[in-house]
């Protein structure tokens, strides 16, 4: 029997690509708005939105227009020269978010690295910390990307193990714990506090109301920079343009990425005022592609779409419906549901361990034939988060577990109420089938 197009594509990736991801067995060929189509022509709701890089939906016409127009004119000049787009983007984004300056990069983790470097420069040049003594506080359960420095202060064994030695100068405290911050910040060498206003990869961990505002206040009182990683939570996802807006906090350093380019090319940005940003001088930091004209034009369009189509407001309104509906599902597999805006998670209870087997919910190993392309149910009872996601896929909705037992639901913010209700129907029917 000849192989399906999907099988062929999956096997090819598996054969020639590094095994650093373990995708759901669906091969996507086309995307438009909230939908994607696989190579067999089957249509799905995209409920992951490329980890919130597609807040504006797939191939948004306005963003694509900006992309196509600029792509035919000028894509890259390097920062050895000026280009006629970067200044326009810089003015636009700084006014949009209320900062003096922006430093554009590409991937999210480069934005994080930039913020950390900026914080250290500021520590030595402005705060007066002695050379090489600066410390930055981070939170347990964080996810800020994949560089050696950043995985060095992760507590996720998969992200961290066997990548040492790690970068020094970070203090990890429990997330959502003001007392821990209050204690750690007493150290006069602390220069910054890096935090996700909601921890996305950890499983949409929403801190207590007031945590972000209290943390910001503490930082301000101690002359410590409050650095918000809004790469996943920002740009409308949680029902405000920035998640920090829920608590009226204006971070000293703001990191954006993902949806900043509406899912086209990697664009990240770090925003700060002159007092901080001008600590970095020519030659001290940069990136070949950072601030390229294509990124500049696409990002302006991506931000305009968020603003003009009121996507944060849509996320706020529809997010309430999504959360309430998910909470209303009664099933013994569901441990809990949480979220804010169109950023929700369902925690699936660990199934009982198979007789004589391991107690893991499922094997997500890239070496496992089940997940290298077969898409069969998990080996441990068929009731794990991965099994729910595989069933959702069959029913036309794409989502993927994070941390093996948590399903994140994060559709594009352009989703309509009617579409959302259809998706909720799919989720309800799928859960009921277990
Ligand atoms: C909060 C947060 N920070 C940083 C990153 C890293 O972004 P990138 O994968 O573009 O490097 C991510 C990616 O998921 C993220 O969610």
Instruction: Give residue 381's pLDDT.
Output: 72
Instruction: Give residue 3's pLDDT.
Output: 83
306 falls in which pLDDT band (50, 70, 90)? very high
Regarding the beta carbon of 201 and ligand 1, being less than 6 Å apart is answered yes
Q: Note whether 315 and 304 are same-domain residues.
A: no
End position of a domain, from candidates 263, 289, 308: 308
Token pair, residue 420, equals: 């959302």
350 falls in which pLDDT band (50, 70, 90)? confident
Average pLDDT, rounded, for the chain: 93
Query: Tell me, what CATH number does 75's domain have?
Result: 3.40.640.10
Q: Note whether 116 and 40 are same-domain residues.
A: no
Q: Note whether 131 and 273 are same-domain residues.
A: yes
Regarding the beta carbon of 200 and ligand 1, being less than 6 Å apart is answered yes
Query: Tell me, what CATH number does 357's domain have?
Result: 3.90.1150.10
Q: Note whether 146 and 31 are same-domain residues.
A: no
78 falls in which pLDDT band (50, 70, 90)? confident
Q: Half-sphere exposure (CA, 13 Å, Cβ side) for 138?
A: 24
Cα gap 301→307, rounded to integer Å: 10
For a ligand 1 pocket test, name from 21, 108, 410 the mutation site with the most ligand atoms within 8 angstroms of its C-beta: 108
> Could you give the angle at the alpha carbon of 342 between the alpha carbons of 261 and 405, nearest 5°?
105
| 409 classed as catalytic | no
Cα gap 199→195, rounded to integer Å: 8
Span 21-36, average pLDDT: 97
Q: Note whether 174 and 300 are same-domain residues.
A: yes
Q: Note whether 258 and 337 are same-domain residues.
A: no
End position of a domain, from candidates 277, 308, 339: 308
Q: Closest ligand 1 atom, CA of 110?
A: 11
Q: What domain range is 375 assigned to?
A: 5-48+311-432
End position of a domain, from candidates 273, 308, 343: 308
User: How far apart are the CA of 432 and the centre of ligand 1, in A?
Assistant: 33
Cα gap 365→421, rounded to integer Å: 34
Regarding the beta carbon of 294 and ligand 1, being less than 6 Å apart is answered no
Regarding the beta carbon of 51 and ligand 1, being less than 6 Å apart is answered yes
pLDDT tens, 395-408?
A: 999 999 998 899 99
Residue 56 lies in a domain: no
pLDDT tens, 194-238?
A: 999 999 999 999 999 999 999 999 999 999 999 999 999 999 999
Instruction: Give residue 44's pLDDT.
Output: 98
Cα gap 418→358, rounded to integer Å: 42
285 falls in which pLDDT band (50, 70, 90)? very high
pLDDT tens, 362-397?
A: 333 333 333 333 345 565 478 999 999 999 999 999
Share of the chain above pLDDT 90, in %: 91
By DSSP bridging, strand 101-105 and strand 43-46 are: unpaired
Instruction: Give residue 366's pLDDT.
Output: 31
Cis peptide before 141 (omega within 30 of 0): no
Atom 8, ligand 1: residue with shortest CA distance? 108
Residue 125 lies in a domain: yes
Atom 10, ligand 1: residue with shortest CA distance? 108
| 92 classed as catalytic | no
| 143 classed as catalytic | yes
Total count of domains within the chain: 2
Q: Note whether 280 and 404 are same-domain residues.
A: no
Q: Note whether 262 and 375 are same-domain residues.
A: no
pLDDT tens, 41-75?
A: 999 999 999 999 999 999 999 999 999 999 999 99
Burial of 398 (0-12, 13-18, 19+ CB in 10 A): buried
Span 98-126, average pLDDT: 98
Residue 86 lies in a domain: yes
Q: Note whether 26 and 98 are same-domain residues.
A: no
Q: Note whether 178 and 318 are same-domain residues.
A: no
Please give the helix or strand (H or E) that residue 86 lies within, else none.
helix 86-97
């Amino acid at each position: 029997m000849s192989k399906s197009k999907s099988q062929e594509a999956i096997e090819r990736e598996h054969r020639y690509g590094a095994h650093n991801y373990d995708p759901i067995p669906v091969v996507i060929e086309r995307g438009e708005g909230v939908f994607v189509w696989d190579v067999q022509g089957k249509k799905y709701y995209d409920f992951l939105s490329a980890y919130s890089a597609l807040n504006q939906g797939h191939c948004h016409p306005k963003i694509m227009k900006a992309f196509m127009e600029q792509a035919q004119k000028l894509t890259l000049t390097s920062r050895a020269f000026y280009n006629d787009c970067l200044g326009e983007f810089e003015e636009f984004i700084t006014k949009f978010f209320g900062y003096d300056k922006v430093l554009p990069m590409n991937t999210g983790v480069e934005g994080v690295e930039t913020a950390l470097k900026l914080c250290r420069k500021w520590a030595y040049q402005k705060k007066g910390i002695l050379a090489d003594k600066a410390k930055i506080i981070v939170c347990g359960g964080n996810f800020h990307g994949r560089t050696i420095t950043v995985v060095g202060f992760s507590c996720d064994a998969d992200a961290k193990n066997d990548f040492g030695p790690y970068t020094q100068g970070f203090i990890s405290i429990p997330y959502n714990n003001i007392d821990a911050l209050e204690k750690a910040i007493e150290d006069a060498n602390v220069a910054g506090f890096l935090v996700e206003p909601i921890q996305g990869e950890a499983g949409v961990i929403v801190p207590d109301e007031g945590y972000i505002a209290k943390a910001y206040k503490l930082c301000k009182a101690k002359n410590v920079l409050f650095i918000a990683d809004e790469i996943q939570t920002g740009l409308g996802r949680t029902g405000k343009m920035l998640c920090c807006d829920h608590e009226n906090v204006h971070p000293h350093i703001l990191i954006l990425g993902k949806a900043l380019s509406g899912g086209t090319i990697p664009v990240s940005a770090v925003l700060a005022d002159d007092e901080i940003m001008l600590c970095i001088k020519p030659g001290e930091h940069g990136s070949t592609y950072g601030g390229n004209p294509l990124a500049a034009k696409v990002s302006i369009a991506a931000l305009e779409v968020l603003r003009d189509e009121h996507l944060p407001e849509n996320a706020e309104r529809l997010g309430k419906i999504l959360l309430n509906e998910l909470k209303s599902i009664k099933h013994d597999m569901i441990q809990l549901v949480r979220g804010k805006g169109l950023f929700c998670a369902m925690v699936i209870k660990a199934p009982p361990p198979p007789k004589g087997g391991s107690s893991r919910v499922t094997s997500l190993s890239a070496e496992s034939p089940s997940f290298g392309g077969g898409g069969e149910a998990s080996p441990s009872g068929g009731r794990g988060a991965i099994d729910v996601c595989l069933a959702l896929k069959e029913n036309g909705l794409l989502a993927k577990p994070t941390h093996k037992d948590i399903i994140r639901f994060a559709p594009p913010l352009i989703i309509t109420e009617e579409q959302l209700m259809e998706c909720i129907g799919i989720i309800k029917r799928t859960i009921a089938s277990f």
